[in-house]
Amino acid sequence: MPSAYHNRIARVNLTTHEITVEQPGAVYFRRAMGGWNIVAEVLIREVPPGTDPLAPENKLIFAPGVLTGFPISGASRHAVGAKSPLTGGFGATEAGGNWGAQLKRAGFDALIIEGAASHPVYLWITDGTIEIRDATHVWGMPTKETAEALRSEVGDHRAELAMIGPGGEHQVRFACLMHGTKDAAGRTGMGAVMGSKRLKAIVVLGKQRLEPADPERFSALARMMAQAVNSGERASSLHNYGTGVGMDGGLASGNLPIRNFRDGEFEGVERLSAENLMASLGVGMDGCFACVVRCKKVVKAEAPYVVDPTYGGPEYESLGALGTTCGVNDPVAVAKATELCNAYSLDTISTGVTIAFAMECFERGLLTLEDTDGIDLRFGNGDAVVQMVRKIAYRQGLGDLLAHGTRYAAARIGQGAERFAVQVKGQEYPMHEPRLKRALAISYAVSPTGADHCHALHDTGLVHADDQGFVQEGNLRSLGVLEPLPLESLGPAKVRATIYQTLRQATNNSLCMCLFVPWTTAELVDLVRVATGWDVTAFELMRVGERAWTLARLFNLRQGLSASDDTLAPRSYEPTTSGPLAEGGIDPEALRQAIHTYYAMLGWDRESGIPTPETLQELDVGWAIDYLP
């Protein structure tokens, strides 16, 4: 019998220690597919407006997808969601590795954590059972030591952990969840929510093999992708170097942020390239469950910092956030800062951008040496970055202020510091420049999680045509985006393309499929069919994404966010000081018009961005009408 889902969602109340299992049925799982849709529905139904994200009343949801756990490339991921302590709205992030596959193979489709323990605890999940165990002895430990101790305690080194380090324990607003020591559910502060519940870790060992509905066709698809990657036909640069390839190109185009998104020139960027990292520090490549791409760098160093390969190595976002955004070109310093983020469970993106914000404030005289405890917090000081990671994790000195993120810190510092806080809805920008990619500007502004690159359109792929005049980017072409579009466009055609890509990625975030494994739209449909036995179509899968995206919007509206929050950081409306983007920033009026067009195209009110009742009915979530503001 196919086992794409078990029809078992576990609910663990850490206050009462009650553990229950819900069985919502086949229609529920086909409508949701997992991931974001499960997260959004639980949050809308169960987290009332005004709930403190760090209170026991918040819910923390772990949700794989129907493909998670099958032995095929890209199907290793799961979503983690809660009301975000960073934004006050929809919190959702995804992680790869092995943990999500293990949860599915342990007999559960999702896990809902509610309440808060009276003392530190961890969960032990295996063979369809869940235990709540004491974790007092590992509270305070970094992630490596936590994993070693709890694997020893459960008696099996194959067990996988979702856990927090000191950053999550101290409820840093952008604390992440680490899965093992390399794989982060990085964004929106889910580690802080876990820390508020005094939940140190969730240890999982799954032994059940998942059976696809069509084993022969499933195996053929797995072999096809393996051959395409191993031959270099697909994902060759990721397979050989991971992300971070082409840092030089990012600088040349203007995509790579420099010194808090202020500048456009940077010397020594080649030192941070993936090619140089692998040549100088690399000890190998690592991968997620059953994936042939193996895109994760593993690095090691002895000086000037000891860098532990157990924690993997910096990928593109970390290289940008802890490197160029802070003006640092020392690869060992960036690798060490990345290691500490993984050890302490901090999002490398928000950590780096927050430190860069503090560096600019320091250089402008808004922060002093007294504020920084004597740290020379200037751009380019790699040692200062390493020190500030520790201070943020343990909320020491200036780190206590920065642990709230740039929006809060800027408001506290005052003196115009808000101009230097590069964030949307409280979440710091990723390492992709919306002044270059105007679809990204739309995506950042309207994102329910705050600025995020993983459910956005990177419109550099829309610029070029093939020999027939069609846009080269195949997945968008397969959805009906046929003609190339200029980067600077914010017109209706760009808005339409942005929506299509966003909904496709929201589908991926519900199926929990990795965007680094280049399945085509047709292949993705085939994968779902052969795994589940359901006669799904591309149309149905896009509706899955639209459902998730609209429900995420609805949760934000219920929590008090509005169309006025769909905007960019002030810096994006200004030119950089030099480089390719020195000609000018984004036109705020053109962006505003694009956002209103975006609302209308999605069936939301053109001015307020509130989904209409008819749209919710059309998406088969009529129940959500009762939750409209």
Average pLDDT over residues 88-92: 99
pLDDT band at 2 (very low <50, low <70, confident <90, very high): low
**Crossing angle of the two packed helices 492-511 and 521-532, in degrees rounded to 10:** 30
Q: Tell me what the mean pLDDT of segment 13-36 comes to.
A: 98
Is residue 611 scored above 90 in pLDDT? yes
Kindly tell me if the per-residue pLDDT of 164 is higher than 90.
yes
Instruction: Write down the pLDDT at residue 473.
Output: 85
Question: Cα separation of 616 and 624, whole Å?
Answer: 7
CA neighbor of 453 nearest in space, from 194, 256, 162: 256
Secondary structure class of 113 (helix, strand, coil): strand
Residue-wise pLDDT for 298-337, tens only, equals 999 999 999 999 999 999 999 999 999 999 999 999 999 9
Give the helix ranges, DSSP H, for 213-315: 215-230, 236-241, 247-253, 274-280
pLDDT per position as a tens digit, 225-262: 999 988 988 988 899 999 888 788 899 999 999 999 99
Q: Name, in order, each residue with C-beta under 8 angstroms of 148's C-beta and a sequence gap of 6 or more.
A: none
Q: Please state the separation of Cα 172 from the chain's center in Å.
A: 17
> What is the H or E stretch that residue 60 is in?
strand 60-64
Q: How many CB atoms lie within 10 A of CB 466?
A: 12
Average pLDDT (518-522) is 94
Closest by Cα among 78, 83, 160 to 114: 83
Domains of the chain in sequence order: 9-205 (3.60.9.10), 258-427 (1.10.569.10), 438-627 (1.10.599.10)
Residue 465 has pLDDT above 80, yes or no: yes
Q: pLDDT higher for 241 or 19?
A: 19
Of 335, 321, 318, the closest CA to residue 277 belongs to: 335
b/e burial code for range 339-348 (CB count within 10 A of at least 16 → b)? bbbbbbbbbb
What separation, in Å, do the N-terminal and C-terminal C-alpha atoms of the chain show?
43
pLDDT at site 127 = 93
460: pLDDT confidence band, cut at 50, 70 and 90?
A: confident
Question: Residue 475: pLDDT band by 50, 70, 90 thresholds?
Answer: confident
Dihedrals phi, psi of 611, to nearest 5 degrees: -60, 140
Q: Are 7 and 30 in contact (CB under 8 A)?
A: no
Lowest mean pLDDT among 15-19, 232-236, 382-386: 232-236
Q: Where residue 1 falls among pLDDT bands split at 50, 70, 90? A: low
Residue 214 scores a pLDDT above 70 = yes
What pLDDT does 257 receive?
Answer: 98
Q: What is the dihedral of CA 414, 419, 422, 426, to 10 degrees?
A: 50
467 contact partners, CB below 8 Å, separation of at least 6: none
- In the 8-state DSSP scheme, what is residue 210? P
Question: Over 80: is that where the pLDDT of 57 sits?
Answer: yes
pLDDT for position 571: 98
Q: What pLDDT is attached to residue 461? A: 85
Q: Is the pLDDT of residue 34 over 80?
A: yes
Evaluate whether 577 touches 264 at the Cβ level (below 8 Å): yes
- pTM for the predicted model, two decimal places: 0.98
